[in-house]
A and B are shown apart, each in its own frame.
Chain A
Amino acid sequence: MARELVAIIKHDCPVCVALLPALDAAAVDGSPLRIVSQSDGDDTAALWERLHLGAPVEIDEELELSARFDPDAVPTLLLLEGGEERGRVEGLARDRLTELAAEAGVALHLDGLPAHRPGCASRTRDPRIAAALAVRAARAQGRLRSRSLVIGAHEDPHEALFERGLTDGLPVVPPTPERVVAMLEGTHRGSQEVVGVVPPYGGTATVEKVAVNAVMAGCRPEHLPFVLAAVDAACEERFSMHGLLATTHPAGPLVVASGPLTERVGMNARGNCLGQGNRANLAIGRSLQLVVRNLGGGRPQLEDRSAHGQPGKVGACFAELQEGSPWEPLSADRGFDADETTVTLYAAEAPRLILDQIARDPEGLCASLALGLQSVAHPKQLLIWDALLVIGPEHGRILREAGWDRARTREELMRRTTSRVGDVLRGAGGSPEGLDPAVFGGNPDGAVPKFAGPERIGLVHAGGGAGLFSMVYGMWASGEIGSTPVTRRVEPWT
């Protein structure tokens, strides 16, 4: 098999320049030594002239050969046999270079050169070039299949994306192929795997498409596993994303994350966790909304018929605070292992405050929480609305010190949100809303619960350490006629 030596150099590397005269001398006619330059034709020609070199030199167009062998440094000497690599020396290591060249029958005379010099970074290590090469490789491997949108040189990319209807009204990060390839590093899943089919028009959410939207939302690659799990959950039939989008009700998807990975990716479970400032929370929540818009085709006032909407429809995502929680992790409550990281999707309104700055025992606290829960949707509308209670740490401490787990807490809240039928019928208290007497009017002194069952009251611990506050999210219609919360495991990127 024919043996070949390939020397990769670049014009602005002093070590390459020092080595070139010896390479030039060895690259005589018929020699198996090829000199390949990473620099462009003009720079290479100027160098050859300056050093009075006569050997032929190849320009590594598009850095194809460099990308194939992927050296960290130049100069690099490769020994090839039948085109396959049999050995290499990166940088100037005088003795090893001489030995390697000898294996191809080439005598390199390196006397007078230093024994060791590390060389310079290969051009393929320039971050911008490395990113472009990664895109080229991804396309060649079929990992990047989205069609291109080319924004003209005189267009502002932010305005261009807005005009194409691809944003939520705020600027997005332009999804260049380089950014999408980098985002795909956040998952080990194949980029063409289908995560879900997104209503209302049934667009296919591949991992790649989700990654494009995650870039736009402002995610980092480590956030991607959360976005993938959220999209998967939202597309699950019993979550009823189509109905949730199309309803006049203000609810939208809320992502609640639980587990050890939440901290690793920088999610906020503490102060202001439902508000602004935390990139992970905001970007993960926003990614889901961009997926609904761009892959599902759901847009406000068209497919999305919400009468008012609410801020959470730009994106709503927070993490559970396990430290100091009265309860086991939400993952466990939802049927997963306590140490797994999951996301749970709820069809939620905007959160409301339940304040209690006086209660010091769990019964008293639950009495206040129950009053807040009673008002979900309408105080006299019962059984079809679920709720998610976000217990702040100062409230949570009361439950924790009393040893109340979720079951005990739910039991108390169910009892305290049970009403006398007569008080919640249509017309009671002067309000025409309420229970239909045709269905419930039989016994006005009978009892009727607010919630269809204890598990319909979601419970999660989160928030800042100071403040005797909890928050309640009312839900869209629940169960068979509406949406059921869905939980998915988050698969880590390593």
Chain B
Amino acid sequence: MDLTHGGGLELLDPTAERESGDRPLAAPVDGTAGLRIALLDIRKPRGDVFLDELERLLSDRGFLVERTAKPTFTRPAPADLRREIAERCDALVEALAD
């Protein structure tokens, strides 16, 4: 029996061996007014001021803006919240990560 693997050393891969094939992005939306944009606040400090202004600017341009917030920035958004937002809105802005 050859225990030497032809002189090399065989080890087992400790990783998850994930081959992430690149996935395409969702189709962009067209920029005409009437689009509903969700602004998702991750709830880090100062983000609300930033989003208030962004809301104002987007509304001025004729977009419909919906404000929501995650329960905490320390985890991904709950699946229910994501689904609800995706159902009601055409696009999403998540802010402000620092």
Q: A62-B1, A129-B3 are in contact. Are A481 and B74 (CB under 8 A)?
A: yes
Say how far A139's CB is from chain B's closest CB, in angstroms: 11
In the complex formed, the residue of A with least CB distance to B5 is A150
| Cross-chain contact B74 with A209 (CB below 8 angstroms) | no
Known: A146-B17, A201-B18, A242-B76. A212 touches B12 (CB 8 A): yes
Residues of A within 8 A of B25 (CB): none
Within 8 A of A (CB), among B32-76: 71-72, 74-76
Q: Of the candidates A132, A146, A180, A213, which one forms a contact with B3 in the assembled complex, judged by CB atoms under 8 Å apart? A: A132
- How distant is the Cα of A477 from the Cα of B11 in the complex, in angstroms? 39
Q: How far is the CB of B51 from chain A (nearest CB, A)?
A: 19
Check A198–B72 contact: CB distance below 8 A.
no
Are A166's CB and B3's CB within 8 A?
A: no
Query: Are the CB atoms of A149 and B12 closer together than 8 Å?
Result: yes
Q: Are B71 and A203 in contact (CB under 8 A)?
A: no
A63 CB to nearest chain B CB (Å): 6
A458 to B6, CA, bound (A): 54
Q: Which residues of B contact A166 (CB under 8 A)?
A: 14-15
Among the listed B3, B9, B16, B74, which residue makes an inter-chain contact with A295, where contact means beta carbons less than 8 Å apart? B16
Residues in A whose Cβ lies below 8 Å from that of B12:
144, 146-149, 175-177, 180, 212
**Cβ–Cβ < 8 Å partners of B71 in chain A:** 480-481
User: Would you call B24 an interface residue if the criterion is a C-beta within 8 Å of the partner chain's C-beta atoms?
Assistant: no
Report the stretch among A151-159, A326-334, A414-422 that lies at the interface.
Answer: A151-159
Cα separation A288 to B16 with both chains bound (whole Å): 14
Q: Is the CB of A175 within 8 A of B18?
A: no
Interchain CB contact under 8 A, B16 and A198: yes
- Picked from B1, B8, B14, B15, the residue with its CB within 8 Å of the CB of A153 is B8
| B9 and A175 contacting across the interface, CB-CB below 8 Å | no
Most A CB contacts (10 A, CB to CB) among B1, B7, B14, B76 go to B14
- The contact string, 1 if C-beta is below 8 Å from chain A, for chain B 72-90, is 1011100000000000000
Which residues does chain B contribute within 8 Å of A153, judged by CB atoms?
A: 6-8
- Number of A interface residues at 8 Å Cβ cutoff, please give it: 45
Is A481 in contact with B72, judged by CB distance below 8 angstroms?
yes
Count residues on chain B whose CB falls below 8 Å from chain A CBs: 21
Smallest CB-CB separation from B43: which chain A residue?
A: A481
- Judge whether B17 and A147 touch: CB under 8 Å: yes
Q: Is A368 an interface residue (CB 8 A)?
A: no
Which listed residue, B1, B7, B9, B14, touches A294 by the CB 8 Å rule? B14
Chain B nearest CB from A96 CB (Å) reads: 30
Partner of B16, one of A128, A201, A480: A201
User: Closest chain B residue to A63 by CB distance?
Assistant: B1
Residue A290 at the B interface, CB < 8 A?
Answer: yes
Given contacts A147-B17, A481-B72, contact A129 B9 (CB under 8 A): no
Interface residues of A in 72-130 (CB under 8 A from B): 128-129
Whole-angstrom CA separation of A201 from B20 in the bound complex: 10
Q: Is B10 interfacial (CB 8 A cutoff)?
A: yes
Chain A residues near B22 (CB, 8 Å)?
none
Q: Would A176 and B9 count as touching, CB distance under 8 A?
A: yes
The answer to the question of A464 belonging to the interface, with a C-beta cut-off of 8 Å to chain B, is: no
> How many angstroms from the CA of A157 to the CA of B11 in the assembled complex?
9
Q: Which residues of A contact B16 (CB under 8 A)?
A: 198, 201, 203-205, 209, 294-295, 297
Report Cα–Cα, A463/B65, bound state, in Å.
Answer: 57
In the bound complex, CA of A174 to CA of B10 (Å): 9
Docked-complex contact A290 and B75, CB < 8 angstroms: no
- Docked-complex contact B72 and A147, CB < 8 angstroms: no
A180 to B3, CA, bound (A): 16
Contacts of A205 in B (CB 8 A): 16
Residue pair B8, A203 in contact (C-beta under 8 Å): no
Contact between B14 and A477, CB atoms less than 8 A apart: no
> Measured between C-beta atoms, what is the minimum distance from B46 to chain A in Å?
14
Rounded to whole angstroms, the CA-CA distance of A128 and B14 in the bound complex is: 23
Decide yes or no whether B30 CB sits under 8 A from chain A.
no
Residues of the A chain whose Cβ atoms lie less than 8 Å from the Cβ of B18:
201, 203
State whether A209 touches B9 (Cβ < 8 A). no
- Residue of A at shortest CB range from B15? A294
Known: A205-B16, A209-B14, A216-B14. 7 other contacts (CB 8 A): A129-B3, A150-B11, A151-B9, A174-B9, A175-B11, A175-B12, A294-B14
| A-B contacts, 20 listed (Cβ < 8 Å) | A129-B3, A132-B1, A146-B14, A146-B17, A147-B17, A148-B13, A150-B10, A153-B6, A153-B8, A157-B11, A166-B14, A180-B12, A203-B15, A203-B16, A212-B14, A243-B72, A295-B14, A295-B16, A480-B72, A481-B71
Interface residues of B (CB under 8 A from A): 1, 3, 5-18, 71-72, 74-76
Top 5 closest pairs, chain A to chain B, by CB: A203-B16, A243-B74, A153-B7, A481-B72, A146-B12
